[in-house]
């Protein structure tokens, strides 16, 4: 692997732009009941919609995949999942998503979409997995 670790895959710029547009539209739709004068239930629903848009945008900014020396971390707004590097034997693209195959034959791991080229992400992750196997052989 030629790139230094940790290798971080953040959301793509176009993904963030579309998320910002969705934020503006959801906030506009959520704030409409406050200006139009609706029932308290409409106002509460509108407030929830606006908050949902803000939280979704923040999650898009924070979400990332980190390939570290010994593990892969999938980070989002509410949690961080860690998986040891040795648990995986290969990576493939299935339906536009990057899937990691486990050694033990258990369920694979589907990485979240970052808006980047799935094949490029797969190649980097696969090289990361194979470099751990090469280190074991030495």
The pLDDT tens digits of the residues spanning 55-68 come to 999 999 999 999 99
Say if pTM beats, i.e. exceeds, 0.95: no
**Which residue intervals of the chain are DSSP H helices?**
13-36, 40-62, 118-137
Per residue in 23-80, pLDDT tens?
Answer: 999 999 988 887 787 788 888 888 899 999 999 999 999 999 999 989 999 999 999 9
Distances (CA, A) of 87 to 64, 96, 103, 109: 20, 22, 6, 10
Question: In Å, how far are 71, 104, 110 from 64, measured between CA atoms?
Answer: 14, 26, 14
């Amino acid at each position: 692997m030629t790139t230094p670790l940790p290798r971080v895959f953040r959301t793509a710029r176009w993904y963030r732009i579309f998320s910002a547009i969705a934020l503006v539209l959801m906030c506009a739709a959520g704030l409409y009941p406050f200006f139009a004068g609706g029932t308290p239930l409409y106002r509460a629903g509108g407030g929830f919609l606006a908050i949902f848009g803000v939280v979704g945008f923040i999650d898009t900014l924070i979400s990332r995949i980190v390939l570290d020396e010994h593990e892969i971390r999938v980070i989002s707004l509410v949690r961080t999942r860690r998986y040891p590097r040795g648990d995986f034997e290969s990576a493939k693209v299935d339906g536009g998503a990057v899937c990691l195959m486990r050694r033990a034959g258990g369920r694979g791991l589907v990485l979240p979409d970052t808006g980047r080229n799935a094949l490029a992400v797969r190649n980097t992750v696969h090289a990361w997995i194979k470099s751990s196997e090469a280190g074991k052989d030495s």
